[in-house]
């Protein structure tokens, strides 16, 4: 089955700086890679996702890059703000056309934005 | 749109009892729903895939006789934790896929916190 590794487990950055979280996956068949933000006790919120037919996707301060050959993908957050503090999870799965299968998550990154 | 609810939001039960958790898609039909479990300060782990009208598919290591899943309608899946024990205490989260828009992501419910005493 799929295995997703995520680094770092904790990331502390100054407000206004950029944050980068990296993930690798094991199953070359995976083709859908979402990123989630989870606040304590809440449901995961999708912040951005990417499919294997593109190498990069951007939405305002958030971007994701995908390297299929190396089987890794990264989340980039620019101009970080205090409200970006949360736990971030990457995930991978296969979407065979009828919708994505169940997600395999990374272990999470606790992002701390220092004022 | 795309709202998923769970009930109850939290439950406390005695060891040995069974607990049922409901997952509902409120404004769309979901042929497929997923059940995840999240222990404190850990990641989400996929437990099973629930398909309307058929048997659920369980991930390796998840006991199907302990975690009973029923997906009897296009908007409701239930997870029953049978003979619950303290080690089953966890945050259980479901997600649902919109059958009419499979290219969109799955939508998560708010989760159910289970504490077994």
Supply the pLDDT for residue A96: 85
DSSP state of A100: B
Q: Which string of DSSP letters, residue by residue, matches A4-62?
A: EEEE-SEEEEETTS-EEEEEEES-TT--EEEEEEE-TTS--EEEEEEETT-SEEEETTE
Task: Say if residue A2's pLDDT is above 80.
Answer: yes
Kindly tell me if the per-residue pLDDT of B60 is higher than 70. yes
Cβ contacts (< 8 Å) between A1 and chain B: which residues? 59-60
Percent of chain B with pLDDT over 70: 99
Chain B residues within 8 A of A104 when measuring between CB atoms: 46
Put simply, the answer to whether B102 touches A43 (Cβ < 8 Å) is: no
Instruction: Give the pLDDT of residue B45.
Output: 97
Q: Which of A89, A98, A102 sits opposite B43 (nearest CB)?
A: A89
Helices within B9-61 (DSSP H only): none
Using the predicted structure, report yes or no on whether residue B53 has a pLDDT greater than 90: no
CA dist., res. A71 & res. A40, Å (int) = 30
Rounded to an integer, the average pLDDT of B38-50 is: 96
Is B97 in contact with A99 (Cβ distance < 8 A)?
Answer: yes
**Contact residues on chain B for A106, CB-CB shorter than 8 A:** 43
Q: Tell me, yes or no, if A105 comes closer than 8 A to chain B by beta carbon.
A: yes
Q: Do B43 and A44 touch (CB under 8 A)?
A: no
Confidence at B105, pLDDT banded by 50, 70, 90: confident
What's the maximum distance between 2 C-alpha atoms anywhere in chain B?
Answer: 41
Question: Percent of chain A scored above 70 by pLDDT?
Answer: 100
Q: What tens digit of pLDDT does each residue of A31-53 get?
A: 999 999 999 999 999 999 999 98
What's residue A98's pLDDT?
79
Q: Which residue has the higher pLDDT, B115 or A98?
A: B115
pLDDT of residue B1: 67
Average pLDDT value over all residues in chain A: 96
Cβ–Cβ contact A89 with B under 8 A: yes
* pLDDT of res. A99: 82
């Amino acid at each position: 089955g799929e295995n997703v590794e995520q680094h770092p487990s904790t990331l502390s950055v100054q407000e206004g700086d950029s944050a980068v979280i990296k993930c690798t996956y094991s199953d070359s068949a995976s083709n859908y890679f979402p990123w989630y933000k989870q606040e304590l006790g809440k449901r995961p919120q999708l912040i951005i996702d990417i499919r294997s037919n593109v190498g990069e996707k951007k939405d305002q301060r958030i971007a994701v890059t995908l390297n299929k050959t190396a089987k890794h993908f990264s989340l980039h957050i620019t101009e970080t703000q205090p409200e970006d503090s949360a736990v971030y999870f990457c995930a991978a799965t296969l979407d065979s056309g009828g919708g994505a299968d169940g997600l395999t998550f990374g272990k999470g990154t606790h992002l701390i934005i220092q004022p | 749109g795309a709202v998923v609810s769970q009930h109850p939001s939290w439950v406390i039960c005695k060891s040995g009892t069974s607990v049922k958790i409901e997952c509902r898609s409120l404004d769309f039909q979901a042929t497929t729903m997923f059940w995840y479990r999240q222990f404190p300060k850990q990641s989400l782990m996929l437990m099973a895939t629930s398909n309307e009208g058929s048997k659920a598919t369980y991930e390796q290591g998840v006991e199907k006789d302990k975690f009973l899943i029923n997906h009897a309608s296009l908007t409701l899946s239930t997870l029953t934790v049978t003979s619950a024990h303290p080690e089953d205490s966890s945050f259980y989260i479901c997600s649902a896929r919109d059958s009419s828009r499979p290219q969109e992501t799955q939508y998560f419910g708010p989760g159910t916190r289970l504490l077994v005493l």
